[in-house]
Structure 1
Amino acid sequence: MSAASRDEGRVTLVGGGPGNAGLITVAGLDALQRADVVVFDRLAPLSLLQDLPARLIDVGKIPHGPQTTQEAINDILVTEARKGQHVVRLKGGDSFVFGRGSEEWQACTDAGIAVAVVPGVSSAIAAPELAGIPVTHRGLTQGFTVVSGHVPPGDPRCRLDWSALARTGTTLVVLMGVKNLATIADTLVRHGLAADTPAAVVADAGLPSQKVVKAPVADIADAAAGARISPPAVTVIGDVAGLDLGVVGTD
């Protein structure tokens, strides 16, 4: 973490973990308690905001609903810091893992604002673990690959080689893939992933509303839709999703 004196305007980017207030780091909690302004969205551990003396600014992005642009968020961070405030940007997960933390860092440095990062617990690992699914397991897989599913296979904006991903032999962890799950699963199977490969979707990880849906990859999209899964959710595709470690969940 970089440092700045208390009387200087500064920004701290805090990863809040998958949404459970107990999973934020000690450093992240300390930054929140020292903040003058907290800029947050709906995926952050919102219960932590209740007793903070800081001014709160909601910059939530609701899927298919009201959204705050990234440019507007960057402007808020810079503007508030220029007032001499310690501004904490609180996000769910880790701000550098499919978050816009790097863009926010760049906006601050371009504006001459001191900025620090407090890494968070990535939902890519935490959500499966909270559902009793290890992303690696000796004898089953030697690694895992985390990808974003917000752009589906076949879309002109897609930069992923899904045919290669189907043959990696690693666990696939898909973030932001609820809307495009059917296309993703179909593409993987079409390019060689066995249709009966275990898959699981973990929604609202770590919260009382946590839900886990399991099915073969060929059927996982229908199973998730039938269970009314909505974001935030993490999809795990691979043999590890078929393990039964005795963790209570909702199938």
Structure 2
Amino acid sequence: MKPRHSESKGSRREPRASSEDTTPGDPKAASERGQSDLQPDRILESAPGCGTSRGFVWFVGAGPGDPGLITLRGAQLLRTADVVLHDALIHSAILDEVTGRRIDVGKRCGHHSMRQEKISALLADLAGQDQRIVRLKGGDSGVLGRVAEEALLLTERGIPFEIVPGVSSATAAPSAAGIPLTHRGLADSFVVATAHRRADRRDAGRDFSIPTYSACTTVVLLMASASVGDWSEQLLQSGYPANLPVALISAGCTELERVVETRVARVEDDLRRAGLQTPMLAVVGWVVTLRGQLAGGLARFSPDQNEGRDGVRGAPDRVPAKLEKSRRGGACFRSAS
């Protein structure tokens, strides 16, 4: 007969956790149950429309370039999809996770492997064949990724879908390069706009969505290489100072990343001289000055990466006098609290 164990007065034995006591999706709790709510089969079971005979589409953001920056959910969906339709600039290590059929529908610099209308139609047709599809897009599909154009056709055909967010290059590439888009006393807002022009230049006379100059607003221009002459001229015409710092980031968050620091007045010349390759974005604003100050501690920074010209390399240590004056006037001042 086994001895009976008694509890001392005032002590309590913790009850065993049941599945009802845990929060769905909690990795620690799932591990204690011997399974993970993030396993591919459980993802599919929980998705709307799964468990039926109909197809399903996931729009997945692949992140800014580094294969480690795709979300866990996105990576697991790649391993379970029947078909993956992917953009051109997806890292090969991410595509290696695909176990099903791969279809390259990417577009680069006016060269389209498939027109947008055909991509949308193919996506809907495959889902209509009871296929489970991942539409893999660079960055975050909701930031200049045309996700709504493709999703609208699915909606018209009654095909269920889910949008899985990704890490946008608009914020990730500058941050990884040592340029936070906001900083107390320098910038309290940022604007993301496309600098893309149509290949046939039918939109050549149209202004980009660049706001009127504010010292406390950072402007990020995506796809900024080919139209640099247009947008730099528009900046000057919109009141942006000629000496306002600009960072040009090519292939951000990848092993091929290059960063050139320059100024609005000479950005076109410096870009052509540097020969930066696409994809490339531009960061316009005083936060670019932080890169030089953070260089000493930024692990991925090396002096060879900073290709700014004389007077720009290392960036100014001080905020320009006019901006300092506006800060004292409360334009973008933040208290120490």
Question: What TM-score do you get using the length of structure 2 for normalisation?
Answer: 0.70
| Percentage identity across paired residues of the two chains | 37
Amino acid at match of 1:65: H
In structure 2, C-alpha distance between the alignment counterparts of 1:36 and 1:179, rounded to whole Å: 37
* Structure 1 residue 2: Cα displacement: 5.5
Are the counterparts in 2 of residues 199 and 214 from structure 1 also a CA contact under 8 Å? Answer: yes
Aligned to 1:158: 206
Aligned to 1:141: 187
Counting only pairs closer than 5 Å after superposition, residues 85-234 of structure 1 correspond to structure 2 as: 85-151=131-197, 155=203, 158=206, 160=208, 162=210, 164-167=211-214, 169-234=216-281
* Structure 1 residue 100: Cα displacement: 0.8
User: What per-residue deviation string (whole Å, max 9, x for no partner) do you get for residues 63-104 of structure 1?
Assistant: 143442110110111111111111000011111101111111
Report which of the two structures shows the higher radius of gyration computed on alpha carbons: 2
Are the counterparts in 2 of residues 151 and 158 from structure 1 also a CA contact under 8 Å? Answer: no
Aligned to 1:242: 289
Any stretches of 5+ residues in structure 2 without a counterpart?
1-45, 308-337
Amino acid at match of 1:52: V
* Structure 1 residue 199: Cα displacement: 0.4
Cα–Cα, structure 1 residues 75 and 161, in superposed 2: closer, same or farther, change >3 Å? Answer: closer
In structure 2, C-alpha distance between the alignment counterparts of 1:4 and 1:44, rounded to whole Å: 27
* Structure 1 residue 250: Cα displacement: 3.9
Structure 1 vs Structure 2 CA RMSD = 2.2
Are the counterparts in 2 of residues 199 and 242 from structure 1 also a CA contact under 8 Å? Answer: no
1:4 maps to which of 49, 65, 69: 49
Amino acid at match of 1:61: K
In structure 2, C-alpha distance between the alignment counterparts of 1:176 and 1:20, rounded to whole Å: 18
Cα–Cα, structure 1 residues 221 and 160, in superposed 2: closer, same or farther, change >3 Å? Answer: closer
Are the counterparts in 1 of residues 208 and 231 from structure 2 also a CA contact under 8 Å? Answer: no
- Number of aligned pairs? 250
Are the counterparts in 2 of residues 17 and 45 from structure 1 also a CA contact under 8 Å? Answer: no
* Structure 1 residue 4: Cα displacement: 2.0
User: What per-residue deviation string (whole Å, max 9, x for no partner) do you get for residues 1-43 of structure 1?
Assistant: 9622144301100011112110001111121111110000112
Are the counterparts in 2 of residues 19 and 44 from structure 1 also a CA contact under 8 Å? Answer: yes
In structure 2, C-alpha distance between the alignment counterparts of 1:160 and 1:235, rounded to whole Å: 13
Cα–Cα, structure 1 residues 54 and 107, in superposed 2: closer, same or farther, change >3 Å? Answer: same
Question: What TM-score do you get using the length of structure 1 for normalisation?
Answer: 0.92
**1:80 equivalent in alignment to 2:126:** yes
In structure 1, C-alpha distance between the alignment counterparts of 2:115 and 2:240, rounded to whole Å: 37
Q: Secondary structure at the match of 1:34?
A: coil
Aligned to 2:79: 33
Any stretches of 5+ residues in structure 1 without a counterpart?
none
In structure 2, C-alpha distance between the alignment counterparts of 1:174 and 1:50, rounded to whole Å: 30
In structure 1, C-alpha distance between the alignment counterparts of 2:209 and 2:93, rounded to whole Å: 39
1:55 maps to which of 91, 101, 117: 101
Q: Secondary structure at the match of 1:218?
A: helix
Are the counterparts in 2 of residues 135 and 171 from structure 1 also a CA contact under 8 Å? Answer: yes
In structure 2, C-alpha distance between the alignment counterparts of 1:13 and 1:19, rounded to whole Å: 17
Are the counterparts in 1 of residues 79 and 97 from structure 2 also a CA contact under 8 Å? Answer: no
Higher RCO, Cα 8 Å, sep 6+ = 1
In structure 1, C-alpha distance between the alignment counterparts of 2:111 and 2:208, rounded to whole Å: 27
Q: Secondary structure at the match of 2:68?
A: helix
User: What per-residue deviation string (whole Å, max 9, x for no partner) do you get for residues 134-177 of structure 1?
Assistant: 0001010111011111149x946736454x43347410000112
In structure 2, C-alpha distance between the alignment counterparts of 1:169 and 1:145, rounded to whole Å: 11
Are the counterparts in 2 of residues 166 and 189 from structure 1 also a CA contact under 8 Å? Answer: no
